Each structure stands twice: as C-alpha cells, then as structure tokens.
Amino acid sequence: MYITEKSLFASFPTPFRAFGKRSSPTSFDLVARSFDDSVLRGLKALNPPASNTPLIGLSWLSSAVDFLASVHVEARDVLANLSSSDDTIKLYLDGSVKVLDLCNFVSAEIERLRQRRLLINFALLLLDDEKRSPEKLRRAVNSLSDEPKTGTRQKNVDPNGLVRDLADRFLSPLPSGRISNAEELARRTLYAVGVVTVFVFGAVVSALSGGGSAKIDVSATGFPWADSLSQLRSAILNRRVLEEIGDVETRAGRARDTVNDVGQGNEASHAKLGNAVKELRAASERLTEGLDRLANGVNGVFRLVLGTRDGILDAHRKRHEGDYEKKQKK
C-alpha cells in the first residue's frame, strides 16, 4: 500500500507555536554549531559498508535513513524557534514535497521486492512437503525462476530524476560567513538538510533500483561535516545491488538446480535439497527483516516531514491571520 498524505502532526511532541514569531537566540552561530555537531556525530556513527564487497546491505541503508530522520528532527527544532520569511517557508515546503515523493517511490520499490520474497516463500512451502510430486517440483522451479527484481518497475518514474528534483528544490544559495540573523540560520539549516537528504536518498534509490545513482555532487563546503560526508559518498559509490537480494538470488539458483536434478531422478540430489532449502529460507528471512526495517525507517521520515509541513503551514496561517487582524484594528 502506498503512503497517503494525511496529517500526522499530532503524533509529534514538538509544537510549532513559535514558528514565525520573533525570537532572539543569544547566538545564531551557537545554534548552527550545535546543529553541525549533531550531523557530524551521526555521520561518524554511520560506518561505511565493508570494502571487500561491491554490494550494499539493507542494514546500512536503514541506518542511513535513521540518521536522515535525526537530521530532520534537529532541523525541525531549529526552524520551530525562528522567524522566517515567506520565501524560506516556501523553500522548505517545495523541497519537502520532493522528500515525500521519494518516500513513496522507495516504499513502492520495497513492496515490489516483497513480492519476490513471497514467490520464494511459496517455493519453500512446496519443497517442505515430503511428498514432492512432479507437479509441486515444477511449480517450485517456476517460482524460483522469476527474474531477479533488481531494476525499477515503476512506469514513468525516473528515480534519479526524483533525486535531482529534490536537489533543485531544496538547495538554495548557501549564506556565507557569520550568521547574523534568523533568516540566514534558517536558510543554512535547510541547505544542510537538503545535502544530507540528497545523499541518503541517492544511496537508497540507487540500491533499490539497481540502475546506479545520479551524479549529483552537492557542495557542503563550509560545514564541519563536509569531509565525513564526502568519505561516505566515496565509500558507497557504484554499490548498486542489495546484498540481501544477491544472497537470495544465489540461494534460489542453487535450490532450483537441485530441484531440477531431483526431478530428473538423481537420488543423490534428494539429500542436497534439504540443505538448499534451509539456506534459502535463512536468506529469505534476512531479506524480510531488512526490508521491514527499511520500510519502517522510510515511513518514519515520511511522517516526520509531513508533520513538520503541517506545523509550518499552521503557524504560517496563524501569523498572517494575526497580521490581518492588526491591520483591521488600525
């Protein structure tokens, strides 16, 4: 089921009553530094995948999505206490729409991979039966012979185009030098969120679609976490296939070959079939756990961003209603 855009703001504890009001932090630079420190800690904790494999795992992608969610929470808390212009608010609203689009795309890709898992589980069910009739063996082979679902199947959707659109909408010119007012802090925070979001979703989309990621080199110059982000980007470059999918397909191929041998009357293959089924079941379970965790993380980002949008829109509406009432009283 696709995620639908409905208000879930009530599930988030941080109110946006302060958004749009005048606030006077003791030091805008201090707020920016605290935000940067949080991003840096998250990046350092996000260890790159093992260097001895060209594959990328669902566990790493899930950790990256969890990190992304934490950055959005930090940004939400910063924005909630700032007075921002209509242009900055529009920048977030436009960019966040693209984040929601990417969440829906990734959710659909996860659902597609789950369909592959269901076919494999069906084959395992047939092979578990001690009375494996020729018909059951044939149906098991058919289920195991489906093409690996590593390429995108969503029609008229360019996943890399979604990431490029996100970069275009979210990354406005970055304020340089000392941050002297709330508007500059808001712009800088949104730029940082955009950079991290493009990086994480670029990696997720690349791994799920299997088509490689768009070469979107967004600059993080001026941020203390720029080098850490660059190192991670280099570490995951060209890792285009999910580790768990590769493992499942390898095990499925072995099980299929063994089933074919059994069907041809090869008695020695009967003993091998039990081990092949056991290995495939374990690989399928790892895939299931990985997909579930990633799905939960992406759904969490969707709810978080949607809740932030609701809060900003509500505060923006109330602010303008207050301005109108003041004009009417004059």
Question: For each of the chain's 330 residues, which pLDDT tens digit applies?
Answer: 333 333 333 333 344 444 444 444 457 888 889 999 999 999 999 988 777 777 788 999 999 999 999 999 999 988 887 777 778 888 888 899 999 999 999 999 999 889 888 999 999 998 887 677 888 888 989 888 875 444 445 566 777 888 888 888 878 767 666 777 888 898 889 999 999 999 999 889 888 876 555 556 667 778 999 999 988 888 887 676 688 888 898 999 999 988 888 777 666 677 788 889 999 999 999 999 999 999 999 999 999 999 998 888 887 777 666 554 555 555
Q: What is the pLDDT of residue 274?
A: 85
CA 12 to centroid of chain Cα atoms: 20
Contact 251, 283 (CB under 8 A): yes
- Flag whether 47 is in a domain: yes
Indicate the number of domains in the chain: 1
> For residues 16 and 313, is the Cβ–Cβ distance under 8 A?
no
Report which of 292, 205, 279 is spatially closest to residue 242, judged by C-alpha positions: 205
Residue 149 tokens read as 């679902």
Question: What residues does 193 pair with on adjacent strands?
Answer: none
Instruction: State the pLDDT at residue 100.
Output: 95
Q: For residue 5, is it within any domain? A: no
Please state, in angstroms and as integers, the Cα–Cα distance from residue 176 to each residue in 181, 185, 195, following that order: 12, 11, 16
What is the per-residue burial (b if ≥16 Cβ within 10 Å, else e) of 228-253?
bbeebbebbeebbbbbbbbbbbebbe
Cα–Cα dist 45/40, whole Å: 9
Of the chain, the end-to-end C-alpha distance in Å amounts to 52
Note whether residue 18 is domain-resident. no
| Residues facing residue 242 across a β-bridge | 56
Is 76 domain-assigned? yes
Given this model, what pLDDT does residue 91 score? 87
* Domain of 164, in residue numbers: 25-314
In a domain, 262, yes or no: yes
Three-class SS state of 308 = helix
> What is the reported pLDDT for 259?
86
pTM for the structure as a whole: 0.83
